[in-house]
Structure formats: structure tokens, C-alpha cells
Amino acid sequence: MRDKFINNQPLSSNMPTPRKLTAVQERDACLAYLCAVDREYVAKHWHVSYYLVRDLILRERSLDWGDPLAELYRKTDQRDRERNALHLILAFNDAGDLPHMDLIDREREKTVYDVVKSQIYNPRRDAIIQQTSLNRYLHADITGLDLLLSDVNPAWRTPEGIIDPLLIARLRQEYGSSHPCSMDEVCEELTSALTI
């Protein structure tokens, strides 16, 4: 008997299905999907089916939002959705004056950025660090100059502190290109350049 009521209201066949996500969560899941985050991860992270995100939220509900960022990302060719991820990554990393950066609100997009960073950016950056053995070199003998530089810029003595500026600069170039963006290609090129 309890299953037939929601909020003490009887279920009827013409009642809409109750939403599992808030409007903010729907937007975040939709943007993550449009940024090429793996669909299984999107479903798992927001505790919904991938089909709900793709078919209901993206194709129906988001059309009524009037959200310029969602509209921009929606217009991107499906095969080039990494461009949307690059847009978000570059906006959060102060990568200069690029088109549509004014659409990013760092506070509002923080959840989506964290997902994009953890699922798209960090794994590729970490692969560069591992393939170049940068960890091994940074933990060798520390000189007085190293200590001075790390006082000025604490990121200096970390592999991430060295790779991030190089990778962001290269991603900025990739974002400005006319061909579909490929973070994998960028990372392979950067790894090759660093291991020569």
C-alpha cells in the first residue's frame, strides 16, 4: 500500500515521474556528459541511469533552461565534446582570453569542473608524469636553489607543478585549432617532447 503513494498523494498513471535530481544536479550531470565525461561515470556519480541524462535531461528538460553554457556545449559536435572539457579546464586555469569564457561561473561550475578534472585531465596528466619518470627526478638531491624556488613557488618541486603549465599552454593551442580536440594526442605530443 505504501508504494502507491508519494507525499501522501496517490500515484496515478498521468502523474509525472518524480525527479531523482535537483535542477542543479540535472544541469551538472548534463554539462559533465557534454564535456565527454564517461557516461558510466556520470550515471554512477549522480546515481541515475545514463539514459536519463541523455534522453530526458539533455534532450528535453535542458531545452527549457535558457542556459547559455549548456547551449554552447550542446552545439558542439558529438565527436568533439572534449572541446567543451578543454573550455572548462582552461577557464578554471586562467588560460587567457578565449571565446565564451564569460559563460563560466567558477562557483556554479565547480562540481562539473571537479568531475572533468578528475576523469579527463588528471589521468592524462598523471600518465605524462609516469611516462617521463618526473617523480623520480624531482625526488633526487635537493639543492639550495631548489629550496629557494620552492619557497617562491611551492608547486615548483612537484611533478604537477611542472607539467600543469606546460599542459595548459598546449591545451590552449588545441582549443584554438579547427580540427576536433584530442587530449590524448596533446598528451602524447607533450610526453614525446619531454622525453627527448
How is residue 12 annotated by DSSP? -
So where are the chain's domains?
2-195
Is 7's pLDDT higher than 80? no
Question: CA-CA distance, 47 to 50, in Å (whole number)?
Answer: 9
Phi, psi of 152 (to 5 degrees): -70, -45
For 94-141, how does the pLDDT look when each residue is reduced to its tens digit (9 = 90+)?
877 889 999 999 999 999 999 999 999 999 999 999 999 888 776 655
Question: CA-CA distance, 106 to 91, in Å (whole number)?
Answer: 8
Q: What is the pLDDT of residue 13?
A: 47
Cell of 184: 590524448
Residue type at position 183: M
Indicate the angle between helix axes 68-75 and 23-34, nearest 10 degrees: 30
For 172-193, how does the pLDDT look when each residue is reduced to its tens digit (9 = 90+)?
999 988 889 999 999 999 999 9
Q: What is the pLDDT of residue 10?
A: 47
For 58-74, how does the pLDDT look when each residue is reduced to its tens digit (9 = 90+)?
899 899 999 999 999 99
**pTM over cut 0.75:** yes
What totals of helices (H) and strands (E) does the chain contain, helices first?
11, 2
